[in-house]
Amino acid sequence: MRAIGVVLTVAAGVMLLVSLLGPVTREVEGLKFRVGLEFGWPGKSAVELPPFGSLSASTHSGPLTFKVTLTEIEPEAFGDVLIGESAYPEVVKAVRSDLEGMIPGFAVRQVLLGGLGAAVLVWLFWRMDWRRVLIAALGGLILTGSLLAYSVSSFDMGAFREPEYHGAVAAAPRVLDLAQDLASRVQNIKENTGVVVDNIQTLSGKVRNLALAGTADEKNVTRVLLISDLHSNPVGFRFVGDIVREFNVEYVVDAGDLTDFGSPLEVRSASEISAFGVPYLFTPGNHDTPDVMRFVDALPNGRVLRDKPERIGQLEVLGAPDPLSFASAAAAKSEQEEAAGLARQTEQLRKALDGGAAPDLLVTHDPRAALPLLDRAGVIVNGHTHRIGYEKRGDTVILNPGTSGAAGIRGLDGKGDASYSAIVTYWQGKRLAYVDLIEYHALSGRFSVERRMVHLNRTDTGAGGLARGADPAPSLVAVPGIRQAYIKL
């Protein structure tokens, strides 16, 4: 019985130390992985992509699981993969080559840890002399090495042709169909993104020379950029950053859905907000989480809108997080639950307004939360619909920046032209003078700006100092130097 107990202790020591200290971290092209072993039957290989889920395949015989977990994305390095010089297939090749190259060193590490774990546990439980402890260590080395050798000798990478999917990544078979032409789409976007940067620079020079309606001094104008629904798209962050710089934007107001799942992994990719170099006000959307809110609050230029007015220059901004931003789910369990949450958000904003708040901009992610308060602010800003929009209802202007991140990866589904959009607003004091609706269609390379005049040199202003009456229809004007683009003024 003692001998059986010692053997079981050796096995337990191997499993304990290999599981705790065996995993190693690798970094390839801005992607950080943790690679480790787990014990269990049957043998398989698993790739975990939190929070999306995992995929696995029965690649070998034996009681070992080879697990690769994506732990972190470095936004600067991985951003170059999507919009820089690196090619998507090359990154896949680099990751696979790195994992294959680490096998010898990884195997030696596991074997040594197996021997150490067996020796330590045998000594702790049985208090044997050093000779028997060394024998136990040798047994741990042999056991670990044998298991690895058996698993590697029977390993078949081809098993991943028919993997098992778990979690959100279970949609992978459908996504893999898309992946056949994804590389060419990404390359097209990369090329056209260079075009749009040139367009923004040319355009900003043109509009800077336009006379501001109703004033002789454009230096007194405050420029506020409205964005929404970035959905962790690195191209979107670059798009926004270029607009901030080229249009001399002084403040950015984000109507939510900075991320897709609100995970810490995605949050790291949003660190480019600091590079905007201007104050950033954020109203969390249904795809955001408390982790996202904490991240924005920690930024040197970030502020989360939470039912209290925030001042930017002479303007007051009031907003409230979407009800679903306090949970991990991006959708309510039922329509009744969704309606109840939006009603609570509306009531919170109403209390702030009744308490004396007089916002120039009222910001919510979902339009339904703000519409009951239509007469309480001069400008209402929403997102969520992924459609850029300008609407005037009475004395209130409703602005929707659309999706500044082209709806994330969903913008590449081939069902439509991925569109990046934003709105630049121009304020004279507390009065909105005009807005520029900006759209960039990445796949086709089309780029457009439509100017809408709000204050029409009228003195009869209503709520928020906005002019009454309908806006004139915008006209199409040719702008030399703009490639594959047009501007409406």
Amino acid 473: pLDDT: 45
- Name residue 421's amino acid: S
Write the DSSP symbol of residue 14: H
Supply the DSSP string of 171-184, one letter for each residue. Answer: GHHHHHHHHTTHHH
Give dist(CA 180, CA 186) in Å, integer: 12
Per-residue DSSP letter, 472 = P
| 287-324 core/surface letters (b: 16 or more CB in 10 A; e: else) | bbbebbbebbeebebbbbbbeebbebeebbbbbbbbbb
Q: What are phi and psi of 27, to 5 degrees?
A: -130, 125
* Unique residue bearing structure tokens 């010692």: 6
d(CA 396, CA 377): 7
338 contacts: CB under 8 Å, gap ≥ 6: 323, 331, 332
Q: How far apart are CA 204 and CA 193, in angstroms?
A: 16
Residue closest to 136 by CA, chosen among 166, 370, 144, 439: 144
Q: 114: which 2 tokens?
A: 């197996």
Tell me what pLDDT residue 467 has: 36
CA 220, distance to chain mean position in Å, is: 35
* pLDDT, tens digit, 9 for 90 and up, residues 297-326: 999 999 999 999 999 999 999 999 999 998
Residues 340 and 440: their CA atoms lie apart, in Å, by: 36
* Structure-token pair, residue 376: 């309480």
Mark the ranges of the chain whose per-residue pLDDT is less than 50: 79, 81-88, 172, 174-180, 182-183, 211-216, 414, 456-470, 472-489
What is the model's pLDDT at position 198? 63
Distance CA 286, CA 195 (A): 32
Do you find a cis peptide bond into 104, omega within 30 degrees of 0? no
C-alpha span between 319 and 309 (Å, rounded): 7
226 DSSP β-pair partners: 253, 423
Write down the residue that tokens 């042709």 correspond to: 161
CB atoms near residue 181 (< 10 Å): 12
Q: How far apart are CA 418 and CA 440, in angstroms?
A: 8
Strands 315-319 and 361-363, by their bridges, are parallel
Q: What six digits make up the tokens of 71?
A: 């732990």
The model carries a pTM of 0.64
CA distances from 149 to 108, 139, 142, 208 (A): 11, 15, 10, 69
Q: Residue 98: what pLDDT?
A: 80
What is residue 432's predicted lDDT score, i.e. its pLDDT? 93
Measured CA to CA, the distance from residue 406 to residue 387 in angstroms comes to 10
Helices (H), 209-310: 234-246, 264-269, 290-298
DSSP three-state, residue 74: coil
Tokens at 269, concatenated: 């990719």
Bond preceding residue 42 cis, omega within 30 of 0: yes
Using CB atoms within 10 Å of the CB of residue 372, give its burial: 0 to 12 exposed, 13 to 18 middle, 19+ buried. Answer: middle
- Which pLDDT does position 482 carry in this prediction? 46
pLDDT tens-digit map of 76-107: 555 454 444 444 456 567 777 887 888 899 99
